[in-house]
């Protein structure tokens, strides 16, 4: 038997309306944070990054695929993510990636290209991608400083020294 409070429909509605006010305040605060995030200064990228893709070697500029915006999801797959005898991706990243194929047409319609990047051999990425039934673009940044330069991967020394994730 639950010890959760029960009440009348009117009591529930009054409490729900009070909660709705708090939810709207949170939404407005979230909108303000989004505006502040969008106003962050851009960083010029002058480094020539190379990636291995299903179509061959590509530059960072190539990943845009003719669109003006690029959304890179740094998928944790590779060093440190061998969870079983089979190569596996981060379970949280995999859950999120389950939705990428459906959202890509909407992003493309807004001039945005989505691509995942991982520090792993392309062949292993492709195998996991097939296993999961995904079609979205996923590139290998293995041999590149890309993930390290953007603060989403760290050397063992950086980890020992308390690297900060952004």
Q: Which CATH class is domain 50-160?
A: alpha beta
> What's the pLDDT tens digit per position in 4-33?
999 999 999 999 999 999 999 999 999 999
B/e letters for 39-66, b = 16+ CB within 10 Å, e = fewer, are eeeeeeeeeebebbbeeeebebeebeee
> What's the pLDDT tens digit per position in 142-163?
999 999 999 888 878 887 888 7
Find all residues with CB under 8 Å of 129, minimum gap 6, and list them. Answer: 138
Its pTM stands at 0.79
Per-residue pLDDT, 2? 81
Q: What is the C-alpha separation between 22 and 33, in angstroms, rounded?
A: 16
Q: Where are the domains of the chain?
A: 8-40, 50-160
Q: What is the 3-state secondary structure (H, E, C) of the chain?
A: CCCCCCCCHHHHHHHHHHHHHHHHHHHHHHHHHHHHHHCCCCCCCCCCCEEEECCEEEEHHHHCCCCCEEEEEECCCCCCCCCCCCCCCCHHHHHHHCCHHHHHHHHHCCCEEEEEEECCCHHHHHHHHHHHCCCCCEEECCCCCHHHHCCCCCCHHHHHCCCCCC
**What's the length of the chain?**
166
Per-residue pLDDT, 102? 98
Per-residue pLDDT, 161? 86
- CA 59 → CA 35, 68, 155, 159, distances in Å? 30, 15, 23, 28
> What's the pLDDT tens digit per position in 46-79?
999 999 999 999 999 999 999 999 999 999 987 6
Label residue 87 by pLDDT band (50, 70, 90): low
Find all residues with CB under 8 Å of 38, minimum gap 6, and list them. Answer: none
Tell me the average pLDDT of the chain: 91
pLDDT of 86 above 60: no
Say if CB 130 and CB 54 are below 8 A apart. no
pLDDT of 83 above 50: no
Per-residue pLDDT, 100? 98
Per-residue pLDDT, 166? 59
> What's the pLDDT tens digit per position in 106-136?
999 999 999 999 999 999 999 999 999 999 9
Q: What is the C-alpha separation between 51 and 118, in angstroms, rounded?
A: 10
């Amino acid at each position: 038997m639950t010890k959760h409070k029960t009440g009348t429909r009117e009591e529930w509605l009054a409490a729900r309306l009070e909660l709705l006010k708090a939810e709207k305040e949170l939404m407005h605060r979230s909108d303000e944070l989004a505006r502040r995030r969008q106003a962050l200064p851009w960083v010029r990228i002058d480094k020539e990054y190379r990636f291995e893709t299903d179509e061959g070697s590509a530059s960072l500029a190539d990943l845009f695929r003719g669109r003006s915006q690029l959304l890179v999801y740094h998928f944790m797959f590779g060093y440190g993510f061998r969870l079983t005898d089979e190569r596996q991706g981060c379970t949280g990243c995999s859950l999120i990636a389950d939705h990428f194929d459906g959202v890509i047409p909407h992003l493309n319609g807004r001039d945005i290209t989505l691509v995942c990047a991982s520090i792993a051999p392309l062949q292993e990425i492709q195998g996991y991608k097939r296993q999961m039934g995904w079609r979205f673009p996923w590139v290998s940044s293995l041999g590149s400083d890309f993930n390290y330069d953007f603060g989403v991967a760290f050397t063992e020394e950086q980890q020992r020294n308390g690297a900060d994730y952004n």
